[in-house]
Structure 1
């Protein structure tokens, strides 16, 4: 049934601003590590943040549009209202907004390409293509159990390490490098990305547990549909648990105790976990979905503070 909402509210529903902290979280972590390593560069960090948020919104538009036209969003779905399937915004306008948003991300990326060179061209274009083909194109991988891999890689590993790279490369190379200069993507940047990667993917796992039955009926084979409830819950627990192991690894490697600040969020993770392990309906999992997003942001912010702390003490 079509809802009567204002145009502004409709586009906000499509953009899903509640997901933006998840887009910002990995950039915050990458910047915190850059401060720790003495390679902080404010302008590349800001451009990385804006680019990440645009990719997040563009992916949201793509999912809204393609899930609707493929019939995955039905009246039985228990998630938040989708504007295309709900008849709130014309499908073609949502599709146009998707391409416009990805286009803006590419424009923002021009500066980052100038700083980071060919590696940023590859990563940027791959991110845009991945955002569209998640639910779009002839073979949408989100319908084949690969959505979790996409989120882990692009909204975790690539986002954190890429944020670090565009700052570190300003100290290590002339503009437009053709390769990755030494020390611009250290092992620490990849390991520091694991909590954001895990918690970002955990958001998707909650979403897919909630939608397991309706996705299966619509032919959308998410990993939750393939694995079932029990294994999906084990996946969620492993992803979240990893987020609490990594700060301990950094501390054991000689970082100051402030790097353990993310452990303060463990009680929230435990509360969400109880819901994920015992409930399947949207009434319970919609709040758990939002809380997992808040967990990602809080954990990432505290992790970044802990990483950056030595620069201020």
Structure 2
């Protein structure tokens, strides 16, 4: 029988920064630009996004095991279903419960902002399952990275800002790209680490389709692109929103260097944790710079 620690591990805490970072950045942008901030809406947004992330991880755990993508040869962290600690049925039920939590927390957002929340929410709910399951599972078609940069980048940041103000901001799109790139680093490292197992089990990630060399270039490019896009903040008169997050660049460069020189192995689990830490630090420093900016963006 699975312990509470097994369930916590199944939620994959190292990846939860991908749900936290975009919401925090979107809320900070909205508060600075509009001068308004609603704590209740912010907490509901954060809770709903976190529940969606956990649901995605649970579905991935259960469905990968059922499809044979997680085996005893796995070099990534222990999976609750594949290890036999919990049944696929139990993990699937837990995933659906997390979707229910996400939906309940989204009700105040719908009440505040109306149909746009529905247009954002319904695809988000579906792709928590559709990432690994359904007629065209994204993770098995090499579309996992696209899903992450879209939903945990653009949609999450712009959506969080919209919830606060009812407005869509160009700055949120740029921030969404930056956060999306660093969030995508997490899945790219995961896919690089598991490339051999995925190749043997028919899970056609980009690392499997295009090779280890591509996966390494992808990770380096995502790290650099996230910081390079910060030039936008200089142009808008918020230079610290570019310079402060640069403090985290050495972490990204170290991760990039290690994935280049180190063959896919258990060592990538440490790099995954470091990338998650960089994402949160990057988002925190960006928020600090935005909130402390002297002028409101024109």
Report if TM-score (shorter chain) is over 0.5. Answer: yes
2:127 corresponding residue in structure 1: 130
Question: Offset at 1:233?
Answer: 1.4
Contact 1:36–1:311 (CA<8 Å) still a contact in 2?
no
Q: Are residue 198 (structure 1) and residue 195 (structure 2) matched?
A: no
Identify which range, 113-122 or 10-19, moves more after superposition.
10-19
Q: Is the 8 A contact 2:230 2:241 kept in 1?
A: no
Asked if 1 retains the 8 angstrom alpha-carbon contact of 2:75 and 2:193, the reply is yes
| Cα distance per residue 1:129-171 (max 9 Å; x no partner) | 01101101132121000011001101111111100000012xx
CA 137–6 in structure 1, closer or farther in 2 if over 3 Å, else same: closer
Counterpart for residue 212 of structure 2: 229
Please give the root-mean-square deviation of Cα atoms over the aligned residues, in Å.
1.6
The 5 Å alignment of 1:294-309 reads 294-309=277-292
**What pairs with 1:149-228 in structure 2 (closer than 5 Å)?**
149-169=146-166, 184-228=167-211
Q: Which residue of structure 1 lines up, in the alignment, with residue 268 of structure 2?
A: 285
1:80 is aligned to 2:82: no
Greater Cα offset, 184-193 or 18-27: 18-27
Following superposition, the deviation at residue 124 of structure 1 comes to 0.8
Under a length normalisation based on structure 2, what TM-score does the superposition of the two structures give?
A: 0.95
Contact kept? 1:79, 1:211, Cα under 8 Å: yes
SS in 2 for 1:62: helix
The aligned counterpart of 2:107 is 110
Distance 1:40 1:312 in 2: 17
In structure 1, the gaps of 5 or more residues are 170-183
Aligned residue for 2:248? 265
Partners of 1:134 and 1:257 in 2: how far apart? 36
Tell me by how many angstroms 1:305 deviates.
1.0
State the distance in 2 between where 1:204 and 1:258 align.
25
Tell me the distance in 2 between the aligned counterparts of 1:89 and 1:133.
21
Distance 1:291 1:312 in 2: 33
Which residue, out of 31, 35, 43, partners 1:35? Answer: 31
Using a 3 Å threshold, how does the CA distance of structure 1 residues 14 and 195 change in structure 2: closer, same or farther?
Answer: same
Contact 1:72–1:219 under 8 Å retained in 2: yes
Structure 1 window deviating more from structure 2 (296-305 vs 31-40): it is: 31-40
- The aligned counterpart of 1:19 is 15
For residues 258 and 187 of structure 1, do their structure 2 counterparts lie closer, same or farther at Cα, with a shift above 3 Å needed?
A: closer
Aligned residues: 295
- Secondary structure of the 2:230 match is helix
1:258 to partner: Cα distance: 5.1
Of residues 9-18 and 77-86 in structure 1, the stretch that sits farther from structure 2 once superposed is 9-18
- Show the counterpart of 1:180: none
**What is the CA-CA distance between 1:107 and the residue it aligns to?**
0.7
C-alpha distance in structure 2 between counterparts of 1:86 and 1:297, whole Å: 30
